[in-house]
Amino acid sequence: MHSKKFLGIELIALFIGLPVVFSLNHKGIPKSIPLLIVFIATLIYLLQSKSFSKASFELNGYRNWIFFTIRILVYLSAITILTFLFLPSDKVFYLPKHNPWLWMAIMIFYPIWSAFTQEVIYRGFFFHRYNKLIPNKKIAMTINGLLFGLLHIIFRNWIAFAGATLMGWIWASTYLKHRSLLIVSLEHALVGNYLFTIGLGYFFYVPDF
């Protein structure tokens, strides 16, 4: 059992120190490498933890698909509005029109390579590892959202930070309510894939955009 001081230092190092240090990296190290390393470590931790319910990797009893669909449609509608507000018209649907093979690769690999890995780290690991350090759920959700936004400072624009912070808070709420990494990863994947389809992925890194 680790002390709260140790957990606090660990949280700061992992969720603040690592993103900040890597955002200052100028050596061309792929952004996915640190994420993959942390994902593997946190996944092993969760799988070995006796107090973490492995049902969290499944639907965990989730059945409200009507509300799920409505929620997704609200997200996608908001993304559509933001796209036409902030993105130049020639960048709308840029990837499907100009680089369909890259777009298809993102549609296939983003759900697992990015969405699921981030949800394991930021929702599954975070709320299991630090639940005693931050017992108040509302405070924990707020911190989680901000830290998720901080992860996206590597893209060096306020839209990525603000959007990720808001969605991080929403997905934290979803995870705490349903305790299903599968559901929250599915939400994340649908939102992310739509971002890159409509063009707003411009603010979240698209090669040759």
Separation between Cα atoms, residue 145 and residue 19, nearest integer Å = 14
Query: 15: which DSSP letter?
Result: I
- Spatial contact of 83 and 201, defined as CB atoms under 8 Å apart: no
pLDDT in tens, 85-122: 989 998 999 999 999 999 999 999 999 999 999 999 99
Question: Which two structure tokens, joined as six digits, stand for 43?
Answer: 């996944």
pLDDT in tens, 25-83: 656 667 678 889 999 999 999 999 999 999 999 999 999 999 999 999 999 999 999 99
